[in-house]
Structure 1
């Protein structure tokens, strides 16, 4: 049986005298599957934060969003979320291709002010392949938008994130330009990066020139 928590966690718990509190959380709240209440919670969420790292440990954290239920629970130990056409970078998927460990954070900012951590092992599956295995997989709730592929996550840990510091937000009606390539609608150069030079010597990848026949 895999020990809950990392060696680093346990070292720091011992160093800072929090081992007893941590042990209570591990024993009372950290599961290796989703409870019915967790499954219901996942089905209500519209956003998820997905943390990944490449083989060297360099991290990325990305937002995934959709209509409630966009993240599909296949069974208590397996869930899946869709990947749509984006900016083409595929940072999260690239990390998963090198290192399958993912951390998903779901937060209810509106009603219950509570969060759910889901840590697990991920793999990438094309949309048609998953639908052949799961014929009842629903179509996307947004007209004209369809998943290209899915990330399947085998749950290793599922546990609560306390409500103590979660702000209450109020949803307002909003039109979302799903799938648009319009730079302004996507936010444009909001942070002024386009005209700013990098400090390091890393150069962006250039598109290959067209091959001559």
Structure 2
């Protein structure tokens, strides 16, 4: 296994009281302390940034102001989630179903959890938790990105990015490979932003029949 994410730094104040209570109840405090000390950072190190730059998918967890949760899947070309610096990353929002569930949650509650999993090569995962904000294309310069880099972003996205989600990193840590399945990638052409019902999956779960 590659030595991903092994440079650690003690990060106090990010663990929930619920974590601590259950560690004490179930006798896992010693193991948890070792994990906090050796596997968790409050920034993205070089290995984490490289790992993210290779990924074509990420699972995104958000919740609204009442704590009602939502989990979604985002995908793009390899590196579609960009690491701006060790404490900041961003990903594009493409045309979807118009519901805006994740963005709606972020507008009420900025806390976000990202889960990157490499099913194909390293069979390892990376959690990144932090706070998010929605940024329109015409406001990218507020991140300190120069015009040349902004033009490159638009060119790489081929006009697909309707807006961006910016994440300030609070914690980053490994997800072990023990139960991550080893998958084989198939070559296919992806029609990004399509409204073709068949390509989008149609009524796969037969919801319309109930109405």
Q: What TM-score, normalized to structure 2?
A: 0.89
Could you say which residue in structure 2 is the equivalent of 1:97? Answer: 107
1:96-137 deviations in Å (ceiling 9; x for gaps): 001000000001111111000000000000012115642314
1:188 matches 2:198: no
1:58-103 deviations in Å (ceiling 9; x for gaps): 0000001000110010100000000011110000000000100000
Corresponding residue SS for 1:139 = helix
Q: What TM-score, normalized to structure 1?
A: 0.88
More helix by percentage: 2
- Aligned partner (choices 29, 34, 39) of residue 39 of structure 2: 29
**Runs of 4+ residues deviating >6 angstroms:** none
Could you say which residue in structure 1 is the equivalent of 2:7? Answer: none
Runs (5+) with no aligned partner, structure 1: 198-213
Could you say which residue in structure 2 is the equivalent of 1:42? Answer: 52
- Aligned partner (choices 73, 78, 82) of residue 63 of structure 1: 73
8 A contact 1:70–1:140 mirrored in 2: no
Could you say which residue in structure 2 is the equivalent of 1:17? Answer: 27
1:152 matches 2:166: yes
Structure 2 CA distance for aligned equivalents of residues 5 and 193 of structure 1: 40
Structure 2 CA distance for aligned equivalents of residues 79 and 125 of structure 1: 12
RMSD: 1.4
Q: How many residues align?
A: 196
Alignment of 1:164-175 (within 5 A): 164-175=178-189
- Aligned partner (choices 122, 137, 153) of residue 112 of structure 1: 122
Query: Aligned-pair distance for 1:4?
Result: 3.0
Structure 1 CA distance for aligned equivalents of residues 30 and 54 of structure 2: 34
Query: Aligned-pair distance for 1:184?
Result: 1.3
Corresponding residue SS for 2:120 = coil
Query: Aligned-pair distance for 1:160?
Result: 0.4
Structure 2 CA distance for aligned equivalents of residues 194 and 89 of structure 1: 17
Structure 2 CA distance for aligned equivalents of residues 56 and 2 of structure 1: 26
8 A contact 2:160–2:193 mirrored in 1: no
Which stretch has the larger CA shift, 82-91 or 125-134? 125-134
Query: Aligned-pair distance for 1:46?
Result: 0.0
Query: Aligned-pair distance for 1:141?
Result: 3.8
Structure 1 CA distance for aligned equivalents of residues 181 and 208 of structure 2: 33
Could you say which residue in structure 2 is the equivalent of 1:122? Answer: 132
Structure 1 CA distance for aligned equivalents of residues 154 and 99 of structure 2: 25
